[in-house]
Amino acid sequence: TSLKKDDIRTFREDFLEMHTYEQANFFKEQDKMLRRRIYGYLSPGEFAELMESMEIEETISYITEMNPYYSGAILSELPVDDAVDILNLMENEEVASFLSMMEREVASEIRQLLGYEEKTAGSIMTTEFITIYDTQTAEQVMKLLKEKAPDAETIYYLYVVDESAKLAGVLSLRDLIIAPEDALIREIMSEKVVAVSVAKDQEEVAQIFQDYDFLALPVVDFQDRLIGIITFDDILDVLEEEASEDYSMLA
Ligand code: ATP
Ligand code: MG
């Protein structure tokens, strides 16, 4: 009744006293409106606890009806292998967007567990990048940058995607700053984008960095959708790793 009366304090007191299994059963009996209320009442960590006692298949429908930030936070709180099991039931695109909302360490662990092979672009990329659309104006993107820049790995290059999340262009921060405010991104971006496939060997990726002198490169999946970026510092790690391998072989 505290749930129906929207009495958050009493609800939390009674609800959190139950075993997580009972919490899950109670939750499952509620209609969508009341489920939404529960999402608002519980922290992602508290919700993750009760979700652990559900079947993976059951969780999917709930995950998708939540605010993505909330579900992203829940996935970060879950044991990574559970999170991976859940993500494995989702579409690639959805997975990428969840990973981009998770804590960096958690996301990178999950990504590896999701099966990107070791020593490929996918295993060294980060999902913390800024996506912009070809239909936005320079002014809109500048505003967006103010908001998003603190969490992005680099803002030096801005990768542009079309409505199907496919990589469509690139522009540098400098290109953006010198453009007229009302210019469309489509008009100022460069459409010839050098990108690497998520499965590309890290040594080949390092070679591309050396050939083109870019500070970052976009990573795409097999449908050409932007799923991550690799920055130059990741490449330094690769070079170091390869050099010490070569050295020990020599020894
Ligand atoms: P700087 O004066 O520091 O060189 P810049 O804006 O010229 O600034 P660069 O790093 O030299 O930046 O990049 C040159 C151009 O390459 C930019 O216009 C950018 O849009 C483009 N660029 C960046 N990444 C890619 C990429 N992956 N594929 C194709 N072009 C890219
Ligand atoms: Mg330049």
Q: Are 228 and 217 in contact (CB under 8 A)?
A: no
pLDDT digits (tens, 9 = 90+) for 194-216: 999 988 999 999 999 999 999 99
Centroid of ligand 2 to alpha carbon of 172 (angstroms): 9
- N residues, the chain: 251
3-state SS, the chain, equals: CCCCCCCHHHHHHHHCCCCHHHHHHHHHHCCHHHHHHHHHHCCHHHHHHHHCCCCHHHHHHHHHHCCHHHHHHHHHHCCHHHHHHHHCCCCHHHHHHHHHHCCHHHHHHHHHHCCCCCCEHHHHCECCCCEEECCCEHHHHHHHHHHHHHHCCCCCEEEEECCCCEEEEEEEHHHHHHCCCCCEHHHHCECCCCCEECCCEHHHHHHHHHHHCCCEEEEECCCCEEEEEEEHHHHHHHHHHHHHHHHHHHC
- Is the pLDDT reported for residue 133 higher than 90? yes
How buried is 74 (Cβ within 10 angstroms: 0-12 exposed, 13-18 middle, 19+ buried)? buried
- 46-50 average pLDDT score: 95
25-29, 39-43, 235-239: least confident range: 235-239
Q: How confident is the model at residue 109 (pLDDT cuts 50, 70, 90)?
A: confident
- Is the pLDDT reported for residue 244 higher than 90? no
Any ligand 1 atom below 6 A from CB of 172 = yes
Any ligand 1 atom below 6 A from CB of 175 = yes
Instruction: Please choose from 129, 134, 160, 170 the residue to mutate so as to test ligand 1's pocket, defined by most ligand atoms within 8 A of CB.
Output: 170
Q: How confident is the model at residue 113 (pLDDT cuts 50, 70, 90)?
A: low
Any ligand 1 atom below 6 A from CB of 157 = yes
Centroid of ligand 1 to alpha carbon of 175 (angstroms): 8
- 63-76 average pLDDT score: 90
What are the beta bridge partners of residue 144? none
Q: How confident is the model at residue 175 (pLDDT cuts 50, 70, 90)?
A: very high
Centroid of ligand 2 to alpha carbon of 27 (angstroms): 56
Q: How confident is the model at residue 242 (pLDDT cuts 50, 70, 90)?
A: confident
Centroid of ligand 2 to alpha carbon of 200 (angstroms): 26
pLDDT of residue 108: 79
- 163-190 average pLDDT score: 95
CA atoms within 13 A on the CB side of 45: 0
- 138-165 average pLDDT score: 90
- Is the pLDDT reported for residue 20 higher than 70? yes
pLDDT of residue 246: 78
